[in-house]
Chain A
Amino acid sequence: MKDCENISESMGRWLDGELSPAESESIRAHVAQCADCREAQRKLEKLQLALEGALMAESKSIEFEPFWRAVQLRIAEKRTWYEDALDWSRGLFTASRAAWAIPALIALLLAVASLESYFPGWRGGAGRNAFAAVDSIDAHGRNVALLREYDSKTTVIWLYEDQEGENETAEEPPPPGPAF
């Protein structure tokens, strides 16, 4: 039975002459002894005959001269650039390509939108949200300054030391605060 299954798969190739001599001989020998496979061969050959009859009925009905004149007319016709572009673009928008292209485009758009999640700062760290946001500051009575520098997107919290207390004990005066 397994042989019959294999031969059923190869029957078309055998009848089309696409098998090697050894494979052909093996199938021929089996079919000679198997009624089921002979029946399968008969059906396939009958289908082939029917196909030839159906498809080749028109084989002699076109004349060369009118056909050639029509081709010459097309050659003589000057096509505009947009007709050429339209022909070219028709080839792009076939159903199978659309079936790939549309979901691929959706996946691409989602991937780009997700880039920030997977690669934060991929836009170079200079995006809108690069600044640190300071929600609260408590310097416990000391002076404090908050600076945002736009070019480098830097947030600076600067704590000024208590000048009076420090001056009593320090060997040298503390440097002045940053000159921002």
Chain B
Amino acid sequence: MKLPKNLRRRVLLFSLLSFIVAAGRGAAQKQPQIVQVKIGTILASNKNDEFDAKLKGLENQLRVLKYRSYRLLKDESQNVPWQGSKVFEIPGGRSLMVALQEFQDNRIGLKVRLTEGQKPLLDTTVRIANRGNFILGGPPHEGGVLVLSISAVAQ
């Protein structure tokens, strides 16, 4: 059945809109130019019961660790170019190198290396949801332990 001209115009317009939305979705799957990586360095201990208000957004995750006290020591963001890497300074003479590996299905693949001086402590590859995070912890520091919240946002 042939639609009248004005109806054909409307069908065409909305089909075009649908195509643009679909194309946009396709575009959103392409590799991002840079990824902003954020490292929150937290001191967890059982010295007291204080919970740093700045860590409110991570409260549910940190409670998993069952320490009594959490204090934010440092919050650092760096833009990591695609197939590049950046190094974050971690208290206690340590450093964390983050390299981008892949971007697929809205998940960011990271290669992470924690070192103490020149000594590697941990190498791991993880895939996190865009705007998601994971927790890396354990190294001792000032009577407690360091907990790193590592998150990434594709730009």
Contacts and interface: CB of A to CB of B under 8 A. Distances in A.
25 contacts: A95-B7, A96-B10, A99-B7, A103-B13, A107-B14, A110-B18, A110-B25, A121-B131, A129-B107, A132-B126, A134-B124, A135-B126, A149-B61, A154-B60, A157-B122, A157-B134, A157-B137, A159-B136, A160-B138, A166-B140, A175-B46, A175-B144, A175-B145, A179-B65, A180-B66
The 3 closest A-B pairs by CB, nearest first: A103-B14, A159-B138, A117-B28
A121 B69 CA distance: 29
Contacts, number: 168
Residues of A contacting B: mostly: mixed
Given A121-B132, A174-B140, A180-B66, A96 B7 contact: yes
A132 B128 contact: yes
Contacts of B24: 114, 117-118
Q: Which range holds the interface residue count of chain B?
A: 35 or more
Contact of A174 (B21, B60, B106, B145): B145
B135 interface: yes
Interface residues of A, number: 53
Interface in A129-157: 129-130, 132-140, 142, 144, 147, 149, 151-152, 154-157
A10 to B, nearest CB: 24
Interface string B77-114: 00000000000000000000000000001110100001
